[in-house]
Amino acid sequence: MVPNATRRLVRQRARYLCEYCHSPEYLSPDRFTIDHIMPQSLGKSDEPDNLALACHRCNERHYNFTSGIDPQTQKEIPLFNPRQQQWSEHFIWTKDGTKIVGTTPTCNFSPQDWGVGGAQCVSPMCIC
């Protein structure tokens, strides 16, 4: 269980945005979750550098995946890590604001397809 003080730190650090899709928490009917970037099920820690604020859909899609298959190269590549990578260097919103598109090999697939390879987000609220 992640301590309350750590939860507050993660939420404030993320500015109350999902760190995977950048959806604002205030638009969600539910409070966002604390996600383990490198899954606890694989023995990783509850330390703040392994935690990210995530909307429910992104957290569910992330599950315990740490990599995915690039649909262009068919090579296994690591998933986006908000502690090590800048979101804006790997993703862009379409002009109409309805899709998030990966712009680099690391992010040629979106969290909606984590573990499978990829497509684009179709929700204006979430990359799910």
Q: What residue spans define the domains of the chain?
A: 4-113
Residue tagged 């539910």 (tokens): 30
CATH architecture of the domain formed by 4-113: Orthogonal Bundle (1.10)
Cα angle value 97/67/115 (rounded, 5°): 70
Q: Where are the beta strands (DSSP E) in the chain?
A: 33-36, 51-54, 67-69, 76-78, 91-93, 100-102
Cα distance between residue 111 and residue 109, in whole Å: 7
The token pair that represents 10 in the structure block = 């993660």
pTM of this structure: 0.78
pLDDT in tens, 75-125: 888 888 899 989 888 888 888 877 787 787 665 444 445 433 333 333 333
